[in-house]
Amino acid sequence: MALLKTLAETYDVYADLAGVDKNGQPVLLPISHSTFNAQIEVTIDQDGNFINAKKLEKGRDVVTIIPVTEDSAAKANGITPHPLCDKLCYIAGDYTTYTGDDKEEYFKAYIEQLQEWAESADTHLMVQAVYQYLMKKSLIHDLVVSQVLKLNGDGKLTDQSKIQGLGQTGANVRFKVSGSRLPQEVWKNQELYKKYCDYYQHKPREKKLCYISGKTEICSDKHPSKIRNSADKAKLISGNDESGFTYRGRFTTKEQAVSIGYDTSQKAHNALRWLIQKQGYTRDESAIVCFMVNRDMQVPDMMKDSINAYQGIEDFDFDFDDFDTYETSNAAKRDTGKYFAEQFNHAVNGYAGKIKVDDRVAVIALDAATTGRLSVVYYDEMGGKQYMDAVLNWQQHCKWRRTVKVGTAEESRKRVTCECTPSPRDMALAAFGVQRSEWLEADGKLIRATIKRLLPCITREGCEIPLDLIKAAAVRASMPQTMNDFVWYNDVLCVVCAMIRFQYEQGGKTMDNFMNDNVEDRNVLFGRLLAVYDYMEQRAMFEYDENGKVKERRTTNAKRYWNAYSSRPARTLKTIKENLVAYERKLKDYELMKFEEWAGEIMSHLDENKFNNKALTEMYLPAYYQQMEYMKKAFQKKEQ
C-alpha cells in the first residue's frame, strides 16, 4: 500500500503535465484514460460529415490517448466498448454488412454509451460531431471509398489486407474534427480530457473505504495494465479468480483483501507507467525506476554506469557531448581520463548539493510473476540525502578504470577511459555472461535475479555485494580464452575488480595501497607473478610492421594456462616459466633485468608454506591488474 500511496502523491506533484506532450517526452495519462495504437485516422467536420481518412504507419505517432471505462480498460472477453475511439467492430454501424460477422450488439453498446456522453452536461463539441457521424452507419463505406480499406471479390472486408501488419477488420480508429478549436486531434485536446473525467466521475457508483487514502470513495476492482509498455497485459493488482483460490481461507470476498479508490488507482498506475517510460530501466522483462517523490527533480539512474547515470539530468552541470574540450592542448598534457573524471566528480558534487533535507526518493523494481501479473520484487523509499549518500558511496568505492561510451546522442557517443562504477547489468554479465557474438550474453531470468540482489547494495550503505556473485565473476575472469581480449579485459576483469574493490574498501582500507598492504598475502603475490610472466611474454612477442604498428600477437602462455593457474598456481607457474625460456632471448637487456627483478622481489615473500597448489581466491585478480599497470608505466617512463 505504501508503494501505491507514494505513486499517487507523485502523480499530484506532476498533475499539471497530465495529457501534455512536452518535447516528445512520454505523456502522463489523465485519469480515466489509456492508450492504444491506432491504424486508421478519420477526419470529420463539426457537423459530423466525413472529410477524409488515412492509414497510419508504424511509429510513435500511432500511440493514441483514449478515454476508457473501468470495464473497457480491462477488456478481455465480452462487449466492453471504449467511450470514443475503438475498433471497427464497435464503432462501424455497417460492420456486419461488410463482413458478414454479426456485431450489431457491439455497435449498439458503443453508440448508446457515446450518446449518453454526448447528451450529458459534460459533453464536448468533438464528442457530438463523432456521435453524429457514426449514427449514419457509413464508416466502412467511407473508408473503402477513400481506399483505406480493401474489399475482396465478394465485396466483403477480410483480413487478407493488412494495416501495420494486422488484419484490417480489427483496426483501431481515431478521429480528427476539422474546424474545431485547435488541436483538432481528439487524442490531444486538453479540454476533452477534462470533460470526460468530469463526466465519468459524475456517473453513480457505489462508494467504499479506500485502503490507501483512508477515505470513503468510489472504489475499483479492475485496475489498469500496460504498465511496462503499451502491449503489456500484466497487472499489479488482479482479483479475477472467482473460484476461491486467490483469497481462500482468509476472506469471503476480494474487497476484504484490498479495496482501492478509483482515482487513487488511476493516479498510481498512470504515474508508474509514465515514470517507467520516461526514466525507467526496461530490459530482460523487468522494469526498474528511481524517482523523486515530492518535487520535479531528476535523480541519477542507478541502472547505468556512474558516468552515464547523470545524462539527461537538467540540473547536472556537465556537457557529455562536448568531450572534445577535454582533449584540448592543456588537457592532453595530462591523463585525459583522469581529467575527465575530475571534471565529472566536480559536477556530481555540485548536483548532490541541490538535494534538500525534506526530499524523498523511491525505488521500484517490477518483474513478471505470471503472464498476466506483475510482482514488486524490490521497493524502497528514503530521504533524498540518504539516497545520494548511498549512491555516492557506491560510485566512490565500486569503481575501476575501464572504457565506456559517453554522450547523449548514440551516433555521436565517444569512448573515454576513466574510473567509473559498472552498471548492475554489467556485473551480472561479468558473473554469468558468455560471449556468443560481439558482447556478453546471459539468460534473462538470471540477469533479472542478479540485478535484484544488487539493488540494496546501491541504495543502502553497509550492504555488501553477495560473495557468490564476486566468486562467479572471478571464475569468468579466470577463463580469458573464452572471450576476445577487449571483452575479457574491459567487461569482465575490470568489472570484477570493481566489485572486489567495493568489498575491500568497506573495511576502511583503500585499493590505492592494495599491493603494499598485502605484500605477504599469498593470493596477491601469485596474482602479481602471473602479471610479470604474462607481460614478459607480451614484450617478447612485440613485432612491428613497416608503419611501426604492433602486429597481431599470439595468446600468451599465461592466458592459455590461466584457469589452471587459478586452481593449481605452484605447479602451473613452473609450466609457464619453462615455456618462456625461448622468449627471454628476444627481450632487451634492461627488460629482462627488470622482469627478473620484479619476479625475484615477489618470490622473496613466497616462502615454502605459501608456495603450494592451494586454489587462489578472487584477490589475485586486482593484484594482477595493478602489477600489470605498474610495469607498463615503468617501461613507458624508461622509454620516454
The answer to whether the bond into 183 is cis (omega within 30° of 0) is yes
Is residue 337 in a domain? yes
Please give the pLDDT value at position 240. Answer: 61
Q: Are residues 124 and 227 in the same domain?
A: no
Among residues 368, 109, 373, the alpha carbon closest in space to that of 240 is found at: 373
Distance CA 46, CA 128 (A): 8
Q: Tell me, what's the pLDDT at 248? A: 59
Distance (Å, whole) CA 570 – CA 568: 6
- Structural domain including 374 reads 280-509
pLDDT at 181: 62
Is the same domain home to 448 and 475?
yes
551 & 469 share domain: no
The grid coordinates listed for 226 are 500496460
48 with 73, same domain?
A: yes
Question: Based on the domain organization, do 421 and 395 belong to the same domain?
Answer: yes
Same domain, 79 and 55: yes
Block means of pLDDT (10 residues each) for the chain, 640 residues, are 90 91 85 93 93 89 91 83 95 92 93 95 94 95 93 88 90 89 82 94 86 85 82 77 57 75 91 92 88 89 89 78 53 59 83 89 87 86 92 93 80 81 95 91 92 93 92 96 93 97 89 92 96 92 63 81 95 93 86 93 89 95 96 83
Does any domain span residue 2? yes
Residues contacting 548, CB < 8 A, separation 6+: none
Q: How many domains does the chain have?
A: 4
Where does a domain end: 279, 303, 325?
Answer: 279
**Does residue 24 form part of some domain?**
no
- Strands annotated E in 252-388: 260-261, 281-283, 286-292, 360-368, 374-383
16 C-beta neighbours (distance < 10 Å), count: 10
Residue 25 lies in a domain: no
Whether residues 362 and 405 fall in one domain? yes
Q: What are phi and psi of 178, to 5 degrees?
A: -75, 140
263: number of Cβ within 10 Å = 21
DSSP annotation of 510: -
26 occurs within a structural domain = no
Domain boundary among 249, 279, 309: 279
Q: Are 518 and 524 in contact (CB under 8 A)?
A: yes
Q: Strands (DSSP E) along 152-229, which ranges?
A: 162-163, 166-167, 172-178, 207-209, 216-220
Q: Give Cα 131 to chain centroid, integer Å.
A: 42
- Same domain membership, residue 171 and residue 267: no
Please give the C-alpha separations between residue 395 and each of 422, 504, 603, in angstroms, as whole numbers: 9, 14, 35
**Statement to judge: residues 96 and 160 lie in one domain:** yes
Tell me, yes or no, whether 354 and 251 share the same domain.
no
Where a domain ends, among 251, 279, 307? 279
Q: Are residues 372 and 265 in the same domain?
A: no
Query: What is the structure's pLDDT at 332?
Result: 44
pTM, rounded to two decimals: 0.86
pLDDT at 360: 94
Say what the alpha-carbon torsion angle 42, 47, 51, 55 is, to the nearest 10 degrees: 0
Q: Tell me, yes or no, whether 85 lies in a domain.
A: yes
Alpha helices by DSSP H, 544-619: 557-560, 562-567, 569-579, 581-584, 589-603
The H or E element spanning position 112 is helix 104-118
Q: Are residues 374 and 248 in the same domain?
A: no
Domain assignment present for 426: yes
Note whether residue 246 is domain-resident.
yes
